[in-house]
Chains A and B, each alone.
Chain A
Amino acid sequence: MSTSRVDVGDRLERHGATPARESTPSARAFVLEVSDLSVHYGVDANMVRAVHDVTLNVRRSTVLGVAGESGSGKSTLVYALTRLLRAPGVISGGQAILNVSSPDDPTQVTPVNLTTASERELRRVRWSHVSIVLQSALNALNPVRRIGREFDEVLRTHRRSLSRSDRRRRAAELLALVGLEPDRLDRFPHELSGGQRQRTMIALALALDPELVVMDEPTTALDVVTQREIITELAELRSRFGFAMIFITHDLSLLVELADEIVVMYAGSIVERANAGELYAAPRHPYTLGLLESFPPLHGERRELTGIAGSPPDLAAESVGCSFAPRCPFAMDRCRAESPPLAPLGDTGRSVACWLHTEHSVVPVPAPLARRWTVPSGPAAPGVSR
């Protein structure tokens, strides 16, 4: 409805943001635009810099994968940009703009600054425009409430026109989308398996047909067969409803299959960003290479793998230079003195934060980080070898 759009715009004006009278091309192309977002936990000496100057865009109807080892700041990033961050977490800089499109006219887009939005605005966009499946989703359902009540609540607050029986019917439809029988609505969470609970959370996230769904490790606690089923379902749902997705996992091989574009995080920063197939076939950052080599392959010669030596840095300590330097097999003097910025890699459309790839680097790029890569036919066609 156009009235509500004006409403959001008015409020944004008070916050100093400019509402788009006419949607800019970038607002139409990207559902989410995050720039220089930084988050820290706590203060003073114990301050943990969990997310540092993160900039990323999520193109409409595509999947952005976020990879990185434990503690790299993946969850903190999505908590911050959906404003679910709790104390002692603080957004210390940057912004996240959600480009909300009008249900009547998808070319009409209103930017909502999530970092400054009021609770009321947030309530308006959560569920309806952006929804999130949290990492702890397996325990996110209220144990003493039947599944049906969770759905009823979301539908009742956001779809006032629906009658009780309409809501029940809609809930059953949503469960059917993720392959669950309607009788599950009368069950308690503990009566469902882990996979069924995770499916329920996904159905709930899709209840109001959002433009962006954020999933934080939705399948990590599940076994591979269940994971495969859920991933397949998600892909189908996405092609049907056209929502964009941010998918977080430490399983880079899963992301390569699922995502269009991938960002790799290390110690709170993005160290590499590329098209999924390209990232897999031709990684440019030493950390990405290490992550890819941490998964034993299912095919080919059995050979010893070493993974990544050492452990991630203490984010509470002030660091100088590249945060990966202590573990990097290619580290140079410069790496220990200066921190490399995330910079475009020639005209490839990808970016990397590593001194090896700067134009004026005197050191030749090591062979594993200089693999050739040819453009595949599709936008994200994994499986391009060499």
Chain B
Amino acid sequence: MMTDVVAPVARLSARGLTRHFTTRVPGRILAAKRVTRAVEDVSLDLVAGRVTAVVGESGSGKSVLARMLARIVTPTSGELFLEGNAIALRARRTLDYAAQVQLVLQDPFASMNPVHPVRHSLERPLLIHGAHKAEVDELARSVLARVALDPPDRFLDRYPHELSGGQLQRVSIARALCVQPSVLLADEPISMLDVSVRLGILNLLKGLADHERLAILYITHDIASARYLADETIVMYAGQVVERSPGTVLIDEPAHPYTQLLIASVPDPSGAARVDRGAGESRPFVRAEEGCAFALRCPHATSRCRHECPPAFVIGEGHVSRCWLHADQAPASSDLATPGRQREGEATKT
């Protein structure tokens, strides 16, 4: 469809992002080389005012994806577009890119420097990004207010060990916000925090998307928290996107066997709508060498699954599943349109 009149402009787009790691496996006689396909061919659009949730278990490639988006890790292949402009991935990350795209990490204790007070953590990036000495104090105060650390005076001169985990995570979000980014990448921002403060951080992220129009990537292995926030949901397994949908469609009606397993695994005291537990009889995180990456754990696997890697099939409006079970549906020709090139005549193919 060409009538993308109201199609929102993506702040940050990734196309075919891939990262392989080569590690040496010491063997008895010869060291063998093993290639870890950490992220394979991932495309996504981070749009102003929207939360894109990426869900997957440990080792599925979520952090590597976030670090490629933040340009801390260089992709093996693929493209990035900031506000529609292609980024030269071999070149060094520019200061402007760093200011536009900010990453918040899982462990607030590890990501804050323990020997400096909060003030230092906020003022330093401001100075690096060209703020005047005279204004940094005011800017630091205002950004603390944005993350609901009120009054700022109570927090500016405290050291990390004097704050609770939830407060510290707010400070690290404040630090990311102080350079006025348009994209916030949050890599498991609540998984190390106490239950009682998690919702506060989720509500803060939601507010930043709703009221300040930030484009937010929310990475988690907790699918219920993704459901709470997401405007788009992406499920990753072994580096690949296996299912994606607008909103939380895929959580309410999971199509891919892996998504079904994820959902069946969530503690659910209400016991409602328990999905087939058969998929849970699995052993450590394994990835089939050929065919579908999930085949070794999948209760529906056939011999086709073990030999041929399934393409993505369109199973609903914007709802895509990479599974042979949906082979009767149209294949998703190419995931997403290439940004910035439409003018050159390469319109969306879907």
* Known A-B contacts A295-B224, A383-B270; A224 and B262 likewise in contact (beta carbons under 8 Å): yes
B195, A195: Cβ atoms under 8 Å? Answer: no
B200 within 8 A of A: yes
Known contacts A257-B267, A382-B269; is-contact A179 B196 (Cβ 8 Å): no
Contact mask A249-292 → B, CB, 8 Å, 1/0? 01111101100000000000000000000001000000000110
Q: Would you call B267 and A294 a contact (CB within 8 A)?
A: no
Total interface residues on A, using CB and 8 Å? 43
**With A223-B221, A295-B195 given, is the CB distance from A196 to B284 under 8 Å?**
yes
> Are the C-beta atoms of A298 and B268 separated by less than 8 Å?
yes
A229 is an interface residue with CB less than 8 A from chain B? yes
CB pair B227–A296 under 8 Å, yes or no, is: yes
- A61 interface residue per 8 A CB criterion: no
Tell me, rounded to whole Å, the shortest Cβ–Cβ distance linking B275 to chain A.
Answer: 10
Q: Which residue, of B264, B267, B277, B280, has the highest number of chain A Cβ atoms within 10 A?
A: B267
Cβ of A13 to closest chain B Cβ, rounded Å: 45
Question: Do the beta carbons of A257 and B269 come within 8 Å of each other?
Answer: yes
A251 pairs with B267, CB closer than 8 A: yes
B17-59 interface bits toward A, Cβ cutoff 8 Å, 1 = contact, 0 = none: 0000000000000000000000000000000000000000110
Contacts of A69 in B (CB 8 A): 194-196
State whether A297 and B224 are in contact (beta carbons under 8 Å apart), knowing that A196-B284, A311-B164 are contacts in the complex.
Answer: yes
Interface assignment of B266: CB less than 8 Å from any CB of chain A = yes
| In the complex, residue of chain A having the shortest beta-carbon distance to the beta carbon of B263 | A298
A227 at the interface (CB under 8 A from B): yes
User: Do A307 and B269 have beta carbons less than 8 Å apart?
Assistant: no
What chain B residues lie within 8 Å of A225 (beta carbons)? 57, 261-262, 265, 280, 282
> Are the CB atoms of A294 and B195 closer together than 8 Å?
yes
A194-B280 in contact (CB<8A): no
A373 → chain B closest CB, angstroms: 14
Q: Are B265 and A228 in contact (CB under 8 A)?
A: yes
- Whether A224 pairs with B222 at a CB distance below 8 angstroms is yes
Residue on A nearest B252 in the bound complex, by CB? A299
Chain B residue at smallest Cβ distance from A306: B199
Chain B, Cβ-Cβ closest to A232: B280
Residues in B neighbouring A304, C-beta threshold 8 A? 203
Q: How far is the CA of A302 from the CA of B285 in the complex (A)?
A: 31
| Residue contact B197 to A307, C-beta cutoff 8 Å | yes
Task: Using known A-B contacts A226-B57, A291-B195, determine if residue A302 contacts B227 with beta carbons closer than 8 Å.
Answer: yes
**Nearest Cβ on chain B to A303's Cβ, whole angstroms:** 9
Interface string of A309-328 (1 = CB under 8 A from B): 00110000000000000000
- Chain A nearest CB from B340 CB (Å) reads 34
Q: How far is the CB of B32 from chain A (nearest CB, A)?
A: 16
Smallest CB separation, A272 vs chain B (Å):
16
B199 nearest CB neighbor, chain A only: A307
Tell me, yes or no, whether B101 is within 8 Å of chain A by CB. no
Residue of B nearest to A305 (CB): B199
Decide if B345 is an interface residue (CB 8 Å cutoff): no
The residues of B that contact A254 with a CB separation of less than 8 Å are 267
Are B272's CB and A299's CB within 8 A?
A: yes
User: How long is the Cα–Cα vector from A69 to B224 in the complex, in angstroms?
Assistant: 19
Residues of A within 8 Å of B225, CB to CB, are: 296
* Complex alpha-carbon distance, A250 and B195, angstroms: 7
Quick one: which of A210-245 are within 8 Å of B by CB?
222-229, 232
Is the CB–CB distance between A253 and B267 below 8 Å?
Answer: yes
Q: Is A70 an interface residue (CB 8 A)?
A: yes
CA distance A354 to B292 in the complex (A): 55
Is A122 on the interface with B (CB-CB < 8 A)? no
**Is A256 touching B269 in the complex (CB atoms < 8 A)?**
yes
- Flag whether A118 is at the interface (Cβ < 8 A): no
Whether, in the assembled complex, B251 has its beta carbon less than 8 Å from a beta carbon of chain A, the answer is yes
- Which residues of the other chain, B, contact A179 by a CB distance below 8 angstroms? 283
A382 to B283, CA, bound (A): 27
A136 located at the interface, meaning its Cβ lies under 8 Å from any Cβ of chain B in the complex: no
Hey, which chain B residues are within 8 Å of A308, CB to CB? 196
Contact call B270/A385, Cβ cutoff below 8 A: yes
Between A225, A256, A294, the greatest number of chain B beta carbons within 10 A of the residue's beta carbon is seen for A225
Find the A residue at minimum CB distance from B206: A304
Please, how many angstroms separate the alpha-carbon atoms of A349 and B5 in the complex?
A: 63
* Binary A-proximity of B195-220 (CB < 8 A = 1, otherwise 0): 11111101100000000000000000
Known: A299-B273, A305-B199, A308-B196. A224 touches B228 (CB 8 A): no
A24 contacts chain B at the CB level, 8 A cutoff: no
Please state if A383 and B272 are interface contacts (CB–CB under 8 Å): yes
Query: Is A139 close to B, CB under 8 A?
Result: no
Nearest CB in chain B to that of A292: its residue: B269
CA distance A254 to B58 in the complex (A): 19
Is B269 touching A224 in the complex (CB atoms < 8 A)? no
**Chain B CB within 8 A of A193 CB:** yes
Contact A251 B195 (CB under 8 A): yes
Q: Which among A193, A251, A252, A302 has the highest number of chain B CB atoms within 10 Å?
A: A302
Q: Which of B233-263 contact A (CB under 8 A)?
A: 248, 251, 261-263
Question: Is A298 a contact partner of B251 (Cβ separation < 8 A)?
Answer: yes
The reply to whether B282 and A195 contact each other, CB–CB distance below 8 Å, is: no
| Bound Cα distance A296, B220 (Å) | 13
- Contact A307:B224 (CB < 8 A) given known A224-B265, A253-B267, A280-B269: no
Given contacts A195-B284, A296-B227, A311-B164, contact A291 B270 (CB under 8 A): no
Residues of chain B within 8 A (CB-CB) of A196 are 284
A302 to B266, CA, bound (A): 17
Compute how far the CA of A295 lies from the CA of B38 in the bound complex, rounded to whole angstroms.
30
For B197, list chain A residues within 8 Å (CB): 307, 311
Q: Kindly list 4 other residue pairs between chains A and B, CB separation below 8 angstroms, not including A250-B194, A295-B195.
A: A224-B265, A225-B265, A227-B265, A253-B269
23 A–B contact pairs at CB < 8 A? A70-B165, A70-B194, A222-B58, A223-B221, A224-B267, A225-B57, A226-B57, A226-B58, A227-B265, A228-B266, A228-B280, A229-B282, A232-B280, A257-B268, A257-B271, A294-B198, A295-B224, A296-B227, A298-B224, A298-B263, A298-B266, A311-B196, A311-B197
